[in-house]
Structure formats: C-alpha cells, structure tokens
Amino acid sequence: MNRIVNEIDKLEAGLRERPEDRQKQYELALCYLQHQRNSQALELLDRMLSDRNRDARAFYARAVAYLSMNDYRKAGCDFLRTIALDPDFLEAYRHLGFIQFTLGKEEAALKTVRTALEKEPDDAALYCVLGDILLDTGEPEKAREAFERALELDPLGAEPHCKLAMYYVSRGDMKGLKREYDILKDLDADMASQIETLFFQPL
C-alpha cells in the first residue's frame, strides 16, 4: 500500500510542478486506473480532453475508466473515438466489440471484431470475443472454432480454456468441461474453483 501511495504522490507532485504537461497528466491518469481510482482518472482525463485534444491514448484511457465504472455507452463512444483517431488500436476494437455484444448489438459487434481480425489475424483475445458473440447468436460450432483458434494462438493462456469450458457447459458436454477444468486448475485456480463449485461438487 505504501508503495502505491508513494507512486501516486510522486506523480501528483510532478504534475503540480508542470500542470499543463500532457504526458504527466496521462501517466497519472494511468496510475489512477491501475489502482482502481477510476473517478480521479476520469476527472483528469476529462481535463485532458476538454480542449479538443485528439489524443487516441487519452480517449482509450477514458473509455477504460468508464468501462470500469460500468458505463458501457460512454465507454463505447470513447472506444469509437479512439479507433477513428487510430484505426490500428486493436485493444479498442476488442473492448468495443465486447461492449456492443453486451448491449445486444451482435451484428455491430461481429463487424467490429472481424475488422480487427483483418488487421491482426493472430490475436487470441479477439477470437475469444468472436466466439462469445457466435455462441450467443446460435452458431455454436463456429464459436468452438473461434475458441480453438484462440487456444492455438495462446496455448498457455487461461482465457481460451475458460471460453471452451463455457462452450462445453452450453452444449451439456461434461467430459469436455472436465478436461478444461483440469487444465484450469493450473492456469486459473479461481475459475477452476468456480467450475468445481457449480458442476463437480456432490449435492
């Protein structure tokens, strides 16, 4: 805790010395976000963006702050602005696709994610989002293909295995779920514990 406070204090002191320094503003905002001080981050980023600033990084950071505060619509608007300013900002596409999917805009979400995959076809996280959308829109086999592609790209990552576990749940495939559960015990103990509690503990 003291280390975190010291880090924030140091950045705040630097900004007080040079209050118009955009880089210092940005670094402090990221530090606030990293330590879940979302309201402070949002206030600082609003200040940065108040004078028609066209900094894609600042819009992205503000979108992350809104997302952390569950304000999906404002987050989505800022992710769109990020992409408009920097069409190759892949993380913005991934988050935007997730938000569109969460808000029930499946067609828009598919378009967003597929556009990103055209730019970076080897991004495992994008395939995970794509699989979620396809599973929700009634295309389970295409969803499985997306999750398996994510696993090929990130074989040691927990997220593709989590997604495959949820795919097997949706299909009632307990053998498949058990395989993913056994793998996740090493990769993501919290997720494995949740699966065990829901599906493998005796009644």
Q: What is the DSSP string of 86-139?
A: -TT-HHHHHHHHHHHHHTT-HHHHHHHHHHHHHH-TT-HHHHHHHHHHHHHTT-
List the one residue out of 102, 177, 161 whose CA is nearest residue 127.
161
Mean pLDDT, range 80-99, rounded to an integer: 95
The predicted pLDDT at position 111 comes to 97
Assess contact for 165 and 188: CB atoms under 8 A: no
> What are 101-115's pLDDT values in tens digits?
999 999 999 999 999
Q: Is 7 exposed, middle or buried (0-12, 13-18, 19+ CB in 10 A)?
A: middle
Instruction: Provide the mean pLDDT of the chain.
Output: 92
The predicted pLDDT at position 3 comes to 66
For the chain, list the domains and their CATH numbers.
1-86 (1.25.40.10)
Residue 20 pLDDT level (bands cut at 50, 70, 90): confident
> What are 174-186's pLDDT values in tens digits?
999 999 999 999 9
Assess contact for 45 and 29: CB atoms under 8 A: yes
> What are 115-147's pLDDT values in tens digits?
999 999 999 999 999 999 999 999 999 999 999
> What are 50-77's pLDDT values in tens digits?
877 789 999 999 999 999 999 999 999 9
Per-residue pLDDT for 203 more than 60?
Answer: no
